[in-house]
Amino acid sequence: MNDLLSAILLGIVEGITEFLPISSTGHLLIAERWLGARSDLFNVAIQAGAILAVTFIYWRTLWSMLQNWRRPETRDYVMKLAVAFLITAALGLVVSKLGFKLPETVTPIAWALVVGGVWMLLAERFAANRPDHTAVTWKVAILVGLAQIVAGVFPGTSRSAATIFIAMLAGTNNRAAATEFAFLVGIPTMYAASGYELLKTVHDGGAAGEDWTGLAVAFVVSTIVAFAAVKWLLGYIRSHRFTAFAIYRIALGIALLLFLPAGG
């Protein structure tokens, strides 16, 4: 397949899946089986595009936090975001130092999709039976930070799914409030992770021979598609549960387990 077309398709996959609770890493690893594997720098770039899109979406919220920093409720919320981020950053460095690498086969991703989908169904059903609660507690903040690490260690889990649903189970069972906290935590987390991977890639000479045209196009595509996908999701969850995403994950995971060769 034409390299530029392949880059565009991978940018679309990243843009759609990065913040939807269906696992971007899992979908990219699957997509690369047919579209061809890309460099670490390319993957960092398209992820950065998705993060930039969410930053654009939440810029008013972020600006409001800066303007209203003196308000106790604002400081409390920002401190909880900071704690969740710092937990992820600290444990992320530990995982990196231990030499963790993403799996080269799809089978563990397929199982993570299935298990995560079932967990989403059960978690949302449990949360729906409790009174609506929008406040973010310290318990939620700490568990969200831990959930981001779990999602990073087990591709197919989905960072957004792990953080949103752990927040809902831990007390913030309002879908919109849980999603906003999860996405806001994701902004510094993913910028830091992308920056770290970028520096490591450049230091190791990974930028040599990079297809810069394809990378730039994929970055722009990922940004635009992620902006549209997140805007749609935020509107969708106002009146819908995450059930459709859970069913999709389970169906995709089962299909991969059935139709891919063993160990594939």
Per-residue pLDDT band at 96 (split at 50, 70, 90): confident
State the first-to-last Cα distance of the chain, in angstroms, to the nearest integer.
Answer: 21
Rama region for 101: left / alpha / beta (φ>0; ψ in -120 to 50; rest): beta
- Contact between 186 and 163 under an 8 Å Cβ cutoff? The reply is yes
Average pLDDT of the residues of the chain: 89
- Over residues 139-184, the pLDDT tens digits come to 999 999 999 999 888 888 899 999 999 999 998 989 999 999 999 9
Question: For residue 263, is pLDDT > 60?
Answer: no
In a domain, 161, yes or no: yes
- Over residues 118-127, the pLDDT tens digits come to 999 998 888 8
- Contact between 254 and 106 under an 8 Å Cβ cutoff? The reply is no
Instruction: State the pLDDT at residue 100.
Output: 72
Residue 2, φ and ψ in degrees, nearest 5? -50, 135
Domain that residue 170 falls in: 3-259
Instruction: State the pLDDT at residue 114.
Output: 95
In a domain, 264, yes or no: no
Instruction: State the pLDDT at residue 107.
Output: 87
Read off the pLDDT of each residue in 205-209 and give the average, rounded to a whole number: 67
Largest CA distance in the chain: 58
Other CB atoms within a 10 A radius of the CB of residue 3 amount to 13
Question: For residue 208, is pLDDT > 70?
Answer: no
Read off the pLDDT of each residue in 66-90 and give the average, rounded to a whole number: 94
- Contact between 24 and 55 under an 8 Å Cβ cutoff? The reply is no
- Total domains, the chain: 1
